[in-house]
Structure 1
């Protein structure tokens, strides 16, 4: 297979993965009774732990007002809760609730477990290549999300 053919195959595999991830997120949102934005917030809280509303907004690509609305919905659904920071009582952190942690484990736990089992087949050097590719892909996506945000703001 030529290098160009391999690049095209990787690009197709990435697109297929994005589509499959999109479907999982849609089905998870339906199962949890929330919307896709809320699922994105759950993902950030799962990956990063408790966050302030502004940290959550930034990580999920939301405005402050949109993040507040999403946090309100997550609280009503019993998936997250606002908790005063014990180190700084002026700060409020958004935590996954016990129900939220259980829901995340139920929906995404089996996916993560299978992915980790698959990754164990690779050498450290191969995993470094995969990680480098994913980090570069993330930078690319982040850059273009910002471009689209700016384009949308100008319309």
Structure 2
């Protein structure tokens, strides 16, 4: 690892970037293994993650919102949802009061499959973080938050042309 050019005994920006790249690659590999185990495409796994994240925030995920998040056409999104529904990972619901709207959610059986794959990872993470005190955890959380926002900002610059046209 290289050190900061100002003589401090800390990893450089390049070191941190490479560590994040390594974490991202390993995270991708883990998600691909989950998808492979369940016969899912990588985009299907990403869709599940987005639907679950929306549920954690208490926000229903609609097919059109999912299409925007994934940068997919409506027909490709319908095919993706059909695949996920066929294997029991997603269900379409119509919220009461508006039969035109559709909300996507992951049923208990799908959640249980996800737990089998991701609870061991969460436990391994918790074990590896056991030596971090509260102040260090605050720094790590802030680092991850700002790094994620930086990734989103730069990623938006690389959006496919059809995605930016659709947002207008």
The TM-score by the shorter chain falls in which range? 0.7 to 0.9
Match of 1:78 in 2: 88
1:100 aligns with 2:106: no
For normalisation by structure 2, the TM-score amounts to: 0.78
Residue 19 to residue 70, structure 1, CA distance change in 2 (3 Å): same
For normalisation by structure 1, the TM-score amounts to: 0.83
Higher relative helix content: 1
Residue 127 to residue 88, structure 1, CA distance change in 2 (3 Å): farther
Q: Given that residues 71 and 163 in structure 2 are in contact (C-alpha distance below 8 angstroms), is that contact kept between their aligned partners in structure 1?
A: no
Q: Given that residues 34 and 77 in structure 1 are in contact (C-alpha distance below 8 angstroms), is that contact kept between their aligned partners in structure 2?
A: no
Q: Given that residues 78 and 99 in structure 1 are in contact (C-alpha distance below 8 angstroms), is that contact kept between their aligned partners in structure 2?
A: yes
Q: Which has the higher contact order (CA 8 A, sep 6+)?
A: 1
**SS of the counterpart of 2:11?**
helix
Gaps of 5+ in 1: none
Match of 2:143 in 1: 133
Larger C-alpha radius of gyration, 1 or 2? 2
Aligned residue pairs, count: 154
**Per-residue Cα deviation, 1:98-131 (whole angstroms, up to 9, x for no partner):** 2211111111121122223433432222222112
Match of 2:37 in 1: 31
Match of 1:55 in 2: 65
Cα distance in 2 between the residues matched to 1:27 and 1:34 = 10
Over aligned residue pairs, what C-alpha RMSD do you find? 2.5
